[in-house]
Structure 1
Amino acid sequence: MRLFRKSARGRVPRLELILSSGVAIGGLERLVYHLARRLDPTRLVASVRLVGARGTFAEWVLAELPDRAVWYDRSLVELARLRSDLRRELPSVVHASGLFARGLTLAAVPHAPAVDTVANPDLEHGTVRRYAYRGIGKLAAAYWADSRARADVGIERLGIPRDRIRVIYPGVDEVTIGAEAQRAFLERHGLRATDKIVAVVGNLRVLKGHDRLVEIAQEVTKRDPSVVFVLAGADLSRGEIPRLLEGSSARRNIRLTGFVDDPLPLMAASAVVLQPSRSEGVPRVTLEAMSVGAAILSTAVGGIPEVLTHEETGVLVPANSVGQLTRSLIELLEAPARRAELGARARERVRARFGLDRMVREFEELYLGAAARTVDSRQ
């Protein structure tokens, strides 16, 4: 049994981070990457196993973590290789994200304690998938939720026992984005220094409210033609969102950049970072926008009100009010001093409460707790 890897301090528990990989990089993907890089290797040896498409995320992780990341496609041969690799390593604890990844892990190493991610049930389409998630999830030793709101959703809609859920807020590093980096981003995407940018960062989905930008952009640009909406993210809507935006009368004031590996210069250069989502946990982009001192306007959904305080570190509006989103955006765009105050307070809050080191420490304790239970049960 290879529950541990030798280190200078003795035996170190093994963690396997297993993720269904797609073409895009979102908040969960970035979190897995940062955990693999930042967990203390003298306390916990972490590996990443990616299953699925060899898209942007897989290429990024394999390049950055060549000694700790392995990719498998979904062929039977590759899935058998994954099963063999997991059985050979026999991890102390597994954190699998996504129904497919969790099912594979359960089949390969059924006795390894699992930490599950409390998923967004709004993304789980179909009754069969929802019941499968509930069934597999009941076998987990612990669950991670990115907010109290997401934990409540897990309890109420997915049937997860309250005492198994650990809330760990995402974290980000403190950064300073200089004028040169901002200018380079603008030039690369055909934007001018005089443009009043509204940044919308995240992969394109109806669930994220990107379809609402048609109405919002039309109203805002009628009032101020210097406003440019910049959407940075891969299209996961199968072309629906780009088609809607292309048909808008404000299409000349809308830019689609596609996936951006580093959106921080965009957010730092923006007048407002807009989040029109219908459903969320705590988006990593919210914390990143706070870290660069951006003024944030968001719907008050999911865990966002747990990190953003209305009129103190951002502006929150009801989830279903496109009219209020539009009015609040116009007001913010016309109030530079107010935007600066909101951004400064947001930056202080993220520095004090949502640092990346804090997040990594809390995950480390979650994993080590599960690993300790494994050792106790096998002695």
Structure 2
Amino acid sequence: MNGSVAYILMGFPRVSETFIASEIHRVERAGVPLRLFVIKPVEAREQGHDHPVLDAIVARPEYLPDPVGLTKPLHRWRWSDVRAFVPALRRCARRRPHGVARATRTAFAQAWRDRRTPLSGPRKIYVKELVQAVTLADRLLAAPDVRHLHAHFAHGTTTITWLAACIAGLPFSFTGHARDIYAPELNPKGWLQRKLDAAAFAVTCTEANVAHLRRIAPSARVHLVYHGLSADFTRLLEQERPRPQTNGTLRVLGVGRLVAKKGFDTLVDACAELRERGIPFEAAIVGQDDKDGAALRAHIERHGVPVALPGPVGPAELLDEYRRAGALCMPSRLLPNDRDGIPNVLVEAMAAGAPVVASNVSGIPELVQHEVNGLLVPPDDPAALADALVRLHHDRALARRLTDNGRATVRERFDGERLAQDLAALFREAIER
């Protein structure tokens, strides 16, 4: 293959984004040489990986200078804040003056367009991202093998990638996921449409997202590529592992970050319903603490229900949780500026043989077919969720049929290796143009 693809990532590796690590590994296995450029250090809460796929990735991450000094208001920037970025600016201005001028015009036009009030100055965020883009472009100009850029998430990472592509004279693409394509404040004043029109193509992970992006930019090339089952889970499922013991009690499992869109407060309410109905149960929500974690803990305390919050676990421990579960619950809801696509945990749970109950929102019905491979319930309806849980607990034949069909769905439509081949084909086409 004549050339490589540069993945541009805001932080890497992140606990909540192991699907990106899996994708990178599989695209490499599909024969596409990659480089990894990381924009800023990973936050403390996103550290602590125990995912073997990271060791299997050939490309080593290259980290750009820490932009912490650029987060201050523009008028408070000092030489110490920008010093690390100045050499790259000088080199790019010398080597690619027209590209720097083009990127500057693009960034400042949006900074002016998105100012707070008619009397305000240009927004600083775009100036900051322009500085970071220059630094990225400088690295790209030192890597002549790079022929195409690809960003994950459609807001800041794609802005920096687009501006760097302008400077370096390279095509770019990006993957849009959830909040990054639905929250207007992340791409205000038509910014997402401009990105879609400027990109060689965009990728997203649900048919619902594809329709949404095509409404924004009808002429854009938007491709559907599901995430698929992760490489680590695929490897674990291929191993002979003893099945964890269960005690016959209904075990209710939720998996995900503690954020409002996951609907875990509805799961807690459903557990309160189970208690009122006299159904013996155990419940746990496994996942990384986040902005709504305190509110969820308070909600659990108010109800006085036994819902454990053990935090994040590694893939092997998570597989055991799925295998112990009487049901994996994903009671997602649509928020005005955020939503799930197809939560990866649903694919994992189905592959592991856990019956799934999920809300019928966003891209979830593209994976979960009601009464075929899972049960769908309305969002924010704890009684309906409790009904589904009781039904699975009492009707073991139904649970077995749903899990058998769930495994078949993952094999047939969410095979990560095959889906990575689809993405690799898009990269090859972009490089060979």
- The 5-angstrom pairing of residues 164-313 of structure 1 reads 164-172=221-229, 173=234, 175=237, 180=242, 182=244, 193=247, 195-224=249-278, 226-251=280-305, 253-262=306-315, 263-278=318-333, 279-313=339-373
**Deviation of the 1:219 alpha carbon:** 0.7
The answer as to 2:411 corresponding to 1:348 is: no
8 A contact 2:256–2:288 mirrored in 1: yes
User: For 2:37, which of 29, 32, 49 is the aligned residue?
Assistant: 49
**Whole-angstrom distance in 1 between the partners of 2:271 and 2:259:** 17
1:17 maps to amino acid:
Y
1:230 to 1:162, Cα distance in 2 relative to 1, 3 A: farther
Aligned residue type for 1:316 = L
Distance 1:95 1:316, change over 3 A: same
Letter in 2 for 1:245: H
Amino acid across the alignment from 1:89: A
Which residue number in structure 1 is paired with residue 21 of structure 2? Answer: 33
Kept in 2, the 8 Å contact 1:197–1:271? The answer is yes
**Alpha-carbon distance change, 42 to 149 in structure 1, aligned in 2, over 3 angstroms:** closer
Alignment equivalent of 1:332, drawn from 388, 392, 404: 392
Report the Cα distance in structure 2 between the residues aligned to 1:122 and 1:14, rounded to whole angstroms.
Answer: 26
Tell me the TM-score normalized by structure 1: 0.82
Could you tell me whether the CA contact under 8 Å between 1:204 and 1:241 is conserved in 2?
no
- Give how far 1:209 is off: 1.0
Gaps of 5+ in 1: 1-10, 184-191, 374-379
So what's the TM-score if we normalise by structure 2? Answer: 0.72
For 2:29 and 2:409, the matched residues in 1 are separated by: 29
The CA deviation string for residues 240-268 of structure 1, in whole angstroms up to 9 with x for no partner, is 443333323243x2111212221222112
| Counterpart residue type for residue 51 of structure 1 | I
Correspondence for 2:192: 133
Residues 151, 161 of structure 2: 8 Å contact kept: yes
Question: In 2, are the aligned partners of 1:272 and 1:296 still within 8 Å (CA)?
Answer: yes
Assess, with a 3 A threshold, how the Cα gap between structure 1 residues 141 and 335 changes in structure 2: closer, same or farther: same
2:165 matched residue in structure 1 = 109
- The change in CA–CA distance for 1:48 and 1:22 in structure 2 (over 3 A counts) is closer
Larger Rg: 2
Matched AA of 1:228: E
Cα gap change, 1:179 to 1:163, in 2 (>3 Å): same
Alpha-carbon distance in structure 2 between the residues aligned to 1:232 and 1:178: 24
Distance 1:147 1:85 in 2: 33
Distance 1:136 1:275, change over 3 A: same
SS of equivalent residue, structure 2 residue 302? coil
Q: Please, which moves more after superposition, 159-168 or 364-373?
A: 159-168
Q: Give 5+ residue unaligned stretches, structure 2.
A: 69-81, 86-131, 334-338
The superposition leaves residues 325-372 of structure 1 with CA deviations (integer Å, 9 ceiling, x where unpaired) of 222222222222211211011111211221111111101011111112
Q: Is the 8 A contact 1:22 1:57 kept in 2?
A: no
Question: Comparing both structures, which one devotes a greater share of its residues to helix?
Answer: 2
1:47-86 matches, cutoff 5 A:
47-55=35-43, 60=49, 65=57, 67-72=59-64, 73-75=66-68, 77=84, 79=132, 81-86=135-140
Q: Which moved more, 1:79-88 or 1:311-320?
A: 79-88
Could you list the structure 1 runs, at least 4 aligned residues long, displaced by more than 6 angstroms after superposition. none
Separation (CA, whole Å) in 1 of partners of 2:141 and 2:285: 43
Q: Give the alignment partner of residue 363 of structure 1, picking from 410, 413, 423.
A: 423
Contact 1:17/1:32 (8 A) holds in 2: no
Shift in alpha-carbon separation, 1:195–1:319, aligned structure 2, 3 A: same
Equivalent position SS for 2:303: coil
The residue that corresponds to 1:188 in the other structure is none
Q: CA RMSD in A?
A: 2.8
> Identity percentage over the alignment?
23
Cα displacement (A) at 1:114: 1.6
Write the letter of the residue equivalent to 2:327: V
CA distance in 1, matches of 2:240, 2:349: 15
**Corresponding residue for 1:317?**
377
> One-letter code of the match for 2:379?
A
1:97 and 2:133 aligned: no
Q: Is the 8 A contact 1:214 1:244 kept in 2?
A: no
